[in-house]
Chain A
Amino acid sequence: MSTSESRFNLYHYAAPQAFYPVAGKLAPVFAVIALVLTTVGLWISFFKAPTDAVQGEVYRIIFIHVPAAWMSMFVFLVMAFWSAIGLAMNTRLSALMAQALAPTGAMFCFVALWTGALWGRPTWGAYWVWDARLTSQLLLLFLYLGYMALVAAIDDPRRRDKAGAILCLVGAVNVPIIYFSVKWWNTLHQGASVSLTKAPSMATIMLSGMLVMAFAAWAYTIAVALYRVRVLILERERHADWVRGELARLGEAN
């Protein structure tokens, strides 16, 4: 009974028209969560976490560097997930979700590289080295930018969705390469301080600051992607009567 109901609901919300108002309701909730978590996270990062015994204050970059790097990898995997669903089930909304996530994933990818460079200079003596971790992360940025350029360049929506999905699925191979690069190769970049398989090798307060910032990044990404997918839905479904009604409503509100 409950299975058939939830299945019905999932299919129901796979329709852009049904998802549009849901996204409109959820987005502000996640925006508020992101704001609260960011405030708490920054408080821990700057006022609770102590000075690092080895690195001094510069280690505080970790509170954005690691969450941004996690997010940049995770978002690409989510895009690949939606791409696979879109290709398999031919649902328009899946491709729109992937397209809505890409700019935010690219932003976090750049942030990870930028903060890494500013952290590398004082600790390694170099802004950039061509080690496996840094190089594969740079490749991820190019995959994001390539995806966005490809999707922007194709006029026909079906071809656009399909081409984007294939690029996502092929590019997703790079994500495990980034993640395991510090194990597979001898990199200047350090190994993981936090992993699913062993206890984290850092102080609890530093770890909690990092995790709060990571959850803030999640909430931010969800909120922004939902706001963006609403615009994409209006553009894609503009021939539908409900979109005309919605545009009229928005026009009156403006």
Chain B
Amino acid sequence: MIWESWNAFLEMGGAAQFVWGSYGVTVLLIVAELVLLRSRRVHSTRRLSRLIRAGQGRKLPEVQGS
């Protein structure tokens, strides 16, 4: 173990805001991407199912975004 205590670990030798700012934002972005991807899948499948049920499957406008 290279850290003397959990506090020393959290303080990162005085560079806490830089190190945790880097790791924190990365984790946030990854979580955001996964949440957005999931919600897109749910919305997309619901919308397509609805349109197919309505019998207009061949007339629907293009789905936007990526």
| Stretch binding the partner chain, chosen from A109-117, A134-142, A169-177, A178-186 | A109-117
Kindly state whether residue A11 has any CB partner on chain B within 8 Å.
no
How many A-B residue pairs lie within 8 Å, measured between CB atoms?
112
Beyond A102-B66, A235-B63, whether A110 also contacts B29 by CB under 8 A is yes
Interface size on B, residues (CB 8 A): 39
| A119 interface neighbour in B22, B51, B58, B63, Cβ under 8 Å | B22
Closest residue of chain B to A38 (Cβ to Cβ) is: B30
Closest residue of chain B to A31 (Cβ to Cβ) is: B34
What residues on B are CB-neighbors of A235 within 8 Å? 44, 48, 63
Least CB distance, B66 to chain A, in whole angstroms: 5
Cβ of A243 and Cβ of B19 under 8 Å apart? no
Kindly state whether residue A64 has any CB partner on chain B within 8 Å.
yes
Closest residue of chain B to A45 (Cβ to Cβ) is: B23
In the A-B complex, list the 10 residue pairs whose CB atoms are closest, starting with the nearest.
A57-B13, A58-B15, A115-B22, A57-B12, A235-B63, A118-B18, A155-B62, A56-B13, A61-B22, A247-B49
